[in-house]
């Protein structure tokens, strides 16, 4: 079994957390491991829809991101992934507070993967559940080809 290099995890987490969309939403990768990822967001007024609850698109972004990174961790360094589809079930409204998406890789093959995410509010209540398929893309790299430590030990 492969073991993720902690230096790689630190570097890739810093890169992702500094990306424009992550900064725009205020979400961060709080944990990344083989087949799992945790993405967090502290909600603010700009996340709310007209009824005063966190917009479903914000919650969908958390689910998509947690699933993506839970699958990404196991991939060989020569490939990347992107989302094929996303389904989110909204289970309870969220007016404010911290949201945490816990992504889990269900299966990852040579070309397709499947994952799920549970989105919890600050009290640990399940507020949404999502599933997503990802496609593995050979030669798909980060823009600018940043220098990264080896992915696996």
Q: Is the pTM of this model over 0.75?
A: yes
Break the chain into its structural domains and give their ranges: 6-138
* DSSP tag of 73: T
The three-state (H, E, C) secondary structure of 94-109, written as one string: CCCCEEEEEEEEEEEC
> What does the alpha-carbon distance between residue 130 and residue 66 come to, in Å, rounded to a whole number?
10
Name the CATH topology of 6-138.
Answer: Thiol Ester Dehydrase; Chain A (3.10.129)
Interval 94-153: pLDDT, tens: 999 999 999 999 999 999 999 999 999 999 999 999 999 999 999 888 888 789 999 999
Q: How many helices (H) and strands (E) does the chain have?
A: 3, 6
Interval 62-79: pLDDT, tens: 999 999 999 999 999 999
Interval 13-33: pLDDT, tens: 999 999 999 999 999 999 999
* DSSP tag of 152: B
* Under 8 Å between Cβ of 67 and 117: yes
User: In which band, very low, low, confident or very high, does the pLDDT at 35 lie, cut at 50, 70 and 90?
Assistant: very high
């Amino acid at each position: 079994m492969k073991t993720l290099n902690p230096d790689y995890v630190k570097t890739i987490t810093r890169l992702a957390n500094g990306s424009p969309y992550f900064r725009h939403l205020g979400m961060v990768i709080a944990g990344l491991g083989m087949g799992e990822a945790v993405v967090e967001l502290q909600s603010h007024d700009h996340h709310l829809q007209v009824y005063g609850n966190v917009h479903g698109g914000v919650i969908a972004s958390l689910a998509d991101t947690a699933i993506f990174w839970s699958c990404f961790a196991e991939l060989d360094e020569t490939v990347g992934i992107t989302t094929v589809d996303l389904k989110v079930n909204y289970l309870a409204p969220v007016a404010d507070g911290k949201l945490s998406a816990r992504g889990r890789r269900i299966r990852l093959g040579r070309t397709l993967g499947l994952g799920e995410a549970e989105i919890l509010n600050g009290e640990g209540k399940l507020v949404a559940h999502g599933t997503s398929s990802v496609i593995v893309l050979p030669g798909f790299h980060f823009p600018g080809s940043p220098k990264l430590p080896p992915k696996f030990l």
